[in-house]
Amino acid sequence: MSSTYTTNFKSLVTFGDSFTDENRLGYFISHNGSAPPVGWEQPVGLNTATGGRSWPRYASYYSGAILYNYAVSGAVCSNQVTPRWFSAINAPFPDIAGYELPAFIADSKYKLANGTKFFKGNSRDTVYAIWIGTNDLGNNAFLTDAQLPGKTLEDYLDCVYSTVDKLYKNGGRYFVLMNLAPLQLLPQYAVPADGGLAATQYYPDKSGNITEISWRMYEQVVTVNQVSKYRTPFEVAVAEEWDDIKIANFDVNALITDMHTHPKNYLNGTAPLNVTGIVNQCNLQGKNCVKAASPDSYLWYDELHPSEQTDRVVAREFVGVLGGKSKWATYWS
């Protein structure tokens, strides 16, 4: 274990799903399923899945690093493991392995018309963050046994570490792997006592024992996070595939769990603090939405996503991870 992580990061490259996306899926929707062109200048997302800005944008503000965000709402790590169909683009949601990673690599080599590079980062001043798994482990994937035949949670994790490997071969040296959030606390998957819902706009066909569904999700989350906790040091220190690499395992699960347990230390709205309810109340069709007052009093924005205040905290602690001494991280090199 090493804490020699501190460096002057000037570029932040992020991969993931709606927890991280700003507006990349929106581009696919508005362009008949076509991907953004190489060298696309992504605008700042002001109305993301949090109802406001997302954590990587705040991390960019707090650290001063330029953000290159490749996350796509609805994404999984690999559509070769848990493909999820999206009718709006008549295709599966773009994944990390098949879209996000290749898109970044193409951008990293792209030159603008004036001859300058689109991607300004290099191996010494760029950090890569991967936060994926909410959709991989959720309904229409592992939770409901909808993965491709023969695929297991191991295949999902293999995809995450394959992403690190390919980024390393492209010049990446600094990485933050963010583990699974406590998905069993989300209103979509929680037990009734924690605000668990019988059905949601993202899980309208939910049926069966709500408590059993929650505990199955909890088991998946704990299993994956425990395996990744030990796999990172194995890959770095035992397999020794990556010389001169530095990886931080950011325990965002523990952070959000602490927010759920001690909300007064993190939430700052004017309404009573709320860790089981949601800001944005919609029907099962995602319509007739009503937003609560004082959104910063809530841990969750909707049934499946953290609030903007939660994302500010995640961003603040993420920047702390970059400093090399975060209590929420373990460092390996």
159: nearest Cα among 80, 264, 87 = 80
The verdict on residue 281 lying in a domain is no
DSSP 20-74: T-SSHHHHHHHTTTPPPPTT--PPPPSS-TTSS--HHHHHHHHH-PEEEE---TT
DSSP state of 296: G
The verdict on residue 207 lying in a domain is yes
The verdict on residue 269 lying in a domain is no
CB 289 within 8 A of CB 280: yes
The verdict on residue 70 lying in a domain is yes
Which H, E and C letters describe 199-243, residue by residue? CECCECCCCCCHHHHHHHHHHHHHHHHHHHHHHHHHHHHHCCCCC
Average pLDDT across the chain, whole number:
96
Cα 160 to Cα 180: distance, rounded to the nearest angstrom: 12
Q: What is the CATH number of the domain that holds 73?
A: 3.40.50
Q: Which residues form the domain of 102?
A: 11-253+308-332
State pLDDT tens for residues 209-236: 999 999 999 999 999 999 999 999 999 9
> What's the pLDDT score for residue 313?
98
CB 51 within 8 A of CB 301: yes
Ordered mean pLDDT values, 10 residues apiece, the chain (333 residues):
68 98 98 98 97 98 97 98 98 98 98 96 97 98 98 98 98 98 98 97 96 98 98 92 95 98 97 98 97 97 98 98 96 94
Both tokens assigned to 59:
């991390």
The verdict on residue 57 lying in a domain is yes
Radius of gyration of the chain, Cα coordinates, nearest whole angstrom: 19
Backbone angles phi, psi at 246, to 5 degrees: -135, 120
> What's the pLDDT score for residue 241?
84
Whose tokens are 């602490």? That residue is 258
The verdict on residue 296 lying in a domain is no
What residues contact 18, with CB distance under 8 A and at least 6 apart?
A: 25, 48, 49, 71, 73, 74, 75, 134, 304, 305
Number of domains in the chain: 1
Cα 233 to Cα 260: distance, rounded to the nearest angstrom: 29
> What's the pLDDT score for residue 39?
97
The verdict on residue 147 lying in a domain is yes
Longest dimension (CA), the chain: 60
Report the predicted TM-score, pTM, of the whole model to 2 decimal places: 0.97
Cα 39 to Cα 259: distance, rounded to the nearest angstrom: 38
The verdict on residue 84 lying in a domain is yes
